[in-house]
Amino acid sequence: MIKPSLPDNEEQRLLALQRYQILDTAKERSFEDLVTIATALCGTHMGAVTLIDRDRQWFKARQALDATETSRDISFCGHAILQPDQVMVVEDAQQDPRFFDNPVVVNDPHIRFYAGAPLLSFDGLPLGTLCVFDANPGHLRPDQAQGLAALSRQVSLVMELRRYAYEIQQHMRDRAWYEQRLSEYNALLEQQNADLAEQSRTDPLTGLPNRRAMSLALEAAVTDADGQPRQTAVALLDIDHFKNVNDLYGHATGDHVLAELSRLLRAHFAGQGLAARYGGEEFVVLMPDTPLGTAELQCDFLRMAVADLPLGIPLTISIGVAAHRHGDGVDQTLARADAALYRAKHEGRNRVVRAD
């Protein structure tokens, strides 16, 4: 058995993990659901959300697994976090020199197949994995690997929202602190946006690219460097009943809602797409190299995350998503996404509808 080595940034990684205050906490439905989806996607009997502590791996969520933690020395996930940008796949642990004599391979639960997608902190540090495993050898298709990686990003997002909600709850008791923090946040946002706004490509309120910048990005994203078409998805999203937010709570609250939604969009699509403010309470998301089904799933996770934002007011969004068609102009793709968004509103809002 080969013990997993330590990442070069191990101490920094452990500090990041501690900031989430999640180790040894109770089960939570949001994490359990994502493990259920991952095992169904990959066709395995077992799965887990694991977090790699200094000397152990601890399971925040698990399926068909009795243990709540194991030694880090025998963990598959300890190896997986060493390559945080990849899904680690072991098709047959008995044929792998790292694991053939591992206690969890030789004894219960007799792991043969394993696939783990690293969970990354907001600043890119590997904290653990979303992993699936089975007592029989297996194989992971490319679309399953992409889906598992997408689900791991959702686990990371749930962790980030959980941390953010905890921080807000802690400091809401001190109203003066909260108002000062909000003022500093807005001042920093305005300062960061000042230079970009002068270039007319960034929305000054949210800090996201504006409609003009998104149009240019979409034009560039639908083909590769050789001019060949790429599989690109586009989503239009709209805040449901946003006028009521401004009317009932004031425009300052409305602006705060827009800013927090923009922050969530940046975190949700970091490194995997581009979000922009399209106008008013409407936003557009560009997802290059993304099949329509995956884009629809990503948008549905975003919709659920928006409903969980700790804003103190109810908030939902409606989304229309479309795949770019070879031969269509970008305006046609946006028009199809807009038509799907209209259907989402017409069918009752707080839903994702994809274009025909």
Q: Which residues are catalytic?
A: 281
Task: State the Cα–Cα distance between residues 340 and 236, nearest whole angstrom.
Answer: 9
CB 221 within 8 A of CB 215: no
Neighbouring CB atoms inside 10 A of 101's CB total 12
Per the document, the length of the chain is 356
Torsion over CA: 165, 171, 175, 180 (sign): negative
Q: What is the dihedral of CA 298, 76, 30, 259, to 10 degrees?
A: -50
Q: SS3 for 173-191, per residue?
A: CCHHHHHHHHHHHHHHHHH
Q: What residue spans of the chain are helical by DSSP H?
A: 10-19, 29-42, 77-80, 103-106, 142-171, 175-198, 211-221, 242-249, 251-268, 292-307, 330-346
Cβ partners under 8 Å of residue 237, min gap 6: 282, 283, 284, 285, 299, 302, 317, 318, 319, 320, 341
Phi then psi for 28, rounded to 5 degrees?
Answer: -135, 135
Identify residue 343 by its one-letter amino acid code: R
Q: Which two tokens stand for residue 251?
A: 């425009």
Q: Could you give the CA distance from residue 77 to residue 60 in angstroms, rounded to a whole number?
A: 13
Inter-residue contact 153 to 146 (CB < 8 Å): no
Cα 74 to Cα 96, 249, 343, distances in angstroms:
14, 54, 51
Rounded CA separation 63/125 (Å): 25
Structure tokens that stand for 163 in this block: 């941390």
